[in-house]
Amino acid sequence: MNIDHVSPDVDIPEGVLINHIFDHQLRLMGKYHDIETKNGINYPEPPWHIDDSKVQQILKDMFWRTTEEIAEAIEVVPDLVGKNWKETWDAEVIIRHFFEELADSLHFLTEASIIANIDAALDLEPIRKVIIHDGDGNARTNHDVDGIKKICADVIFNLGLAANTLKNKPWKSTQMPTDANDFKVKLLQTWKANFWMWSELGCSMNDVYRLYFRKMQVNSWRQKTNY
């Protein structure tokens, strides 16, 4: 099952959309953590502290999952120049595949940010307002395939810099305090790159929410059916 199998009609809720995304993800991750615990993956219980090596290990896992999804999107980047991708959505599976992978990456980046104690309204909404607007996006980009790949890869680059601030690795005998401010600055820079990516693809925040929500429905179905 993928986003082709859920309704494209998504109601846009009132309020700060990034808040709603965080709330949805918090509910999803609780159910997934139960499943992953049964599969032998032990998640530290909240509250999550950035100096905890187990928390850092989970954060890096989520960062890698984000990276994988963006890499999958980069692998299939469609030629979108001069095209309204919403108008060709039903006809071009590659467009749906590309945006579904990016929606997946948003799920994992959001989950990592929840564990990192990022406040969606206070930390992210001011950044979002500057880069990506509400309402309807124009579904167009001026970037060719190589340009889109670079924009997507920039998210991965910034995410790697954020991960590199987390030094408490499981194989180290001596743990060290984290520069929490440096980590947060780099993680927020990742979000800036992420919002920029969506915007440059012709998406509004409403579009991002719709894509996120449709993938959330898929993941909820997978949880209910023991997929």
Q: Answer whether residue 3 is part of any domain.
A: no
- The three-class DSSP label of residue 81 is strand
* Confidence (pLDDT) at 32: 65
Q: Answer whether residue 6 is part of any domain.
A: no
Phi, psi of 110 (to 5 degrees): -65, -45
Cα separation, 138 vs 202, whole angstroms? 5
* Confidence (pLDDT) at 224: 66
Cα separation, 3 vs 218, whole angstroms? 6
Q: Answer whether residue 67 is part of any domain.
A: yes
- The three-class DSSP label of residue 80 is coil
Q: Answer whether residue 7 is part of any domain.
A: no
Q: Enumerate the H helices of 76-204 as residue ranges.
A: 93-115, 125-131, 145-163, 180-200
Q: Answer whether residue 70 is part of any domain.
A: yes
Q: Answer whether residue 42 is part of any domain.
A: no
Partners of residue 141 on adjacent β-strands: 81
Q: Answer whether residue 119 is part of any domain.
A: yes
Q: Answer whether residue 219 is part of any domain.
A: yes
Contacts of the segment 93-98: beta carbons below 8 A, 24+ positions apart: 96/2, 96/3, 96/4, 98/73
List, run by run, the mean pLDDT of 10-residue segments along the chain (227 residues). Answer: 72 95 92 73 85 93 97 97 94 96 97 97 97 94 97 98 90 81 98 98 97 86 63
Phi, psi of 43 (to 5 degrees): -90, 135
Residue 203: domain span: 14-34+49-224
Count: domains in the chain: 1
Sign of CA dihedral 111, 117, 120, 123: negative
* Confidence (pLDDT) at 48: 93
Sign of CA dihedral 90, 92, 95, 96: positive
How many residues appear in the chain?
Answer: 227
Which domain CATH number covers 195?
1.10.4010
